Amino acid sequence: MNNKRSLIPAVRPVLKKALLPLLTWPAHQALRCAGYYRPNTEIARGSRILVALYGGIGNVVLATPMLQAIHRGFPESVLHVWCQVRPSAEICRTIPYVERVLIDGGASVSSDYDIFVVNCVAPPLRASLFGLNSGASLMVGEDSTKSHLGFLFNCCGVADVSAHEVDRNLGILRRIGLRPLQARPFINIGEEHRIASREFLRDGGLSGRPVVGLHPGSGPAQSFKRWRRSKFAELARRLCEDHGVTVLLFGGEDEIELAEAIADESGCGHVVAGRLSILETAALIEQCKLFISNDSGLMHIAAAVGTPTIGIFGPTRPEKNRPYGTDHLVVTAGMRCQPCYSTESTIKCSDPLPCMEAIRVEHVLSAAAGALTKPDSSTISAACALHVA
């Protein structure tokens, strides 16, 4: 019996890849012949628009230019946003032209919308079924699957998987007649959040020296993105000794133990993880001279608030997920097998991943030196990748 159960996880993806195309591809062809798809559509004034933002905090931050473009293109429309996690909703609630923010598992979504739009990381089949439930006559999305899992989107583009997530999101809007200008992700930080972050530094006796933020986590479901804990501890110690900075260890409530272990091991890091709200965290990151992180939501927050950022990348794709903007740097091993992670496949290497192990503390310190030796927190690179292998 146990052997049969152990086969289920292995067989499930095979069945999904084999059986779903037998259903979705014929359905796509039938809808195409029936004229269901609307390749280019003009939007009526005053339309009710629901934007479903799938993914975590980072995905929502990278979708803020999308929300801005929708508002600029259709200023008379009613704009509502749906998010999967509460911190993402807190970020969206600060955007003045977003009239309502819904959370997965919270209040039910009404079925009186005219237009339904999703970001590029949305699972196409599940998201398009959600769109049907919204009552929208126009459902706009992206589908990179060969089996047409997003066949229910009636205004759909094919993904350019090599493009950055910001650019892919803006590309979706071109299907509804928008020509969005290039825009940087943003977070609206209130003065009350900045006051709370300054008080945190003052109460901890941390004012007066340059501050460097580290995020050694990546969310509990994506621990494969993490650089080794001992390396973060060594990095924190060297930053304190070599550059005389204050090191703050960021993270969510599930990363408090990780941050505390690094603080103990390094002897100099100060734990922020789990102690501030997401907007207070953003305000504190804004005060950092430099932010060093795994590929994570806090990495994207750092770039969005204008803090020079170094992203440590292993199995994920820097072209799609790097910190967006010009003042940031990616450190990666540059192995031939990179990147190996995708939503449709599993990582084959066992932990610790060779691509993460190849990145040494000296590599990251070298990348950080450019920002820390400047009189201000200006450009440390041109958003390029530092290959270390």
Q: For residue 380, what pLDDT is reported?
A: 41
- Angle, CA of 318, 170 and 121, to the nearest 5°: 55
Is position 184 within any domain? Answer: no
Q: For residue 260, what pLDDT is reported?
A: 98
Examine the fold and report which residue of 176, 210, 225 is the final residue of a domain before the chain moves on: 176
Is position 68 within any domain? Answer: yes
Whole-angstrom Cα distance, residue 365 to residue 25? 50
Is position 181 within any domain? Answer: no
The answer to whether the pTM exceeds 0.85 is yes
Shared domain for 230 and 154, answered yes or no, is no
Closest CA to 90 of 183, 187, 219: 187
CB 69 within 8 A of CB 99: no
Q: What is the pLDDT of residues 349-383, one digit of tens each?
A: 777 888 899 999 999 999 999 878 865 543 343 34
Shared domain for 159 and 54, answered yes or no, is yes
Shared domain for 84 and 210, answered yes or no, is no
Report, as ranges of residue numbers, the positions in the chain whose pLDDT lies below 50: 1, 3-7, 377-384, 389
Shared domain for 259 and 378, answered yes or no, is yes
Shared domain for 164 and 206, answered yes or no, is no
Shared domain for 231 and 163, answered yes or no, is no
DSSP state, 114? S
Specify the pairing of strand 384-387 against strand 328-332.
Answer: parallel
Residues in the chain: 389
Is position 8 within any domain? Answer: no
Examine the fold and report which residue of 176, 209, 229 is the final residue of a domain before the chain moves on: 176
Helices (H), 208-338: 229-243, 256-266, 278-286, 297-304, 318-321
Cα atoms found within 13 Å of the Cα of residue 275, Cβ hemisphere only: 19
CATH code (residue 56):
3.40.50.2000
Shared domain for 169 and 252, answered yes or no, is no
CB 134 within 8 A of CB 111: yes
- φ and ψ at 194, to 5 degrees? -65, -40
Shared domain for 365 and 298, answered yes or no, is yes
Whole-angstrom Cα distance, residue 87 to residue 101? 12
Examine the fold and report which residue of 149, 176, 203 is the final residue of a domain before the chain moves on: 176
Shared domain for 331 and 216, answered yes or no, is yes
Q: What is the pLDDT of residues 210-234, one digit of tens each?
A: 999 999 999 778 888 999 999 999 9
Task: Report CA 13 to chain centroid distance, whole Å.
Answer: 25
Shared domain for 169 and 295, answered yes or no, is no
Whole-angstrom Cα distance, residue 359 to residue 341? 18
Task: Identify the residue whose tokens are 């350019």.
Answer: 160
DSSP state, 345? B
Is position 3 within any domain? Answer: no
| Torsion sign across C-alpha atoms 172, 180, 321, 90 | negative
Say how many C-beta atoms besides its own lie within 10 A of residue 21's C-beta: 16
Is position 11 within any domain? Answer: no
How many domains, in total, are found in the chain? 2
Is position 318 within any domain? Answer: yes
Say how many C-beta atoms besides its own lie within 10 A of residue 380's C-beta: 21
Whole-angstrom Cα distance, residue 213 to residue 211? 7
Closest CA to 276 of 369, 196, 357: 196
What range defines the domain where residue 213 resides?
193-387
Is position 94 within any domain? Answer: yes
CB 357 within 8 A of CB 228: yes
Shared domain for 156 and 210, answered yes or no, is no
Cis peptide before 339 (omega within 30 of 0): yes
Cis peptide before 124 (omega within 30 of 0): no
For the record, the structure tokens of 165 come out as: 């997530």
Shared domain for 205 and 154, answered yes or no, is no
Specify the pairing of strand 309-313 against strand 246-249.
Answer: unpaired
Q: For residue 352, what pLDDT is reported?
A: 80
Q: For residue 40, what pLDDT is reported?
A: 57
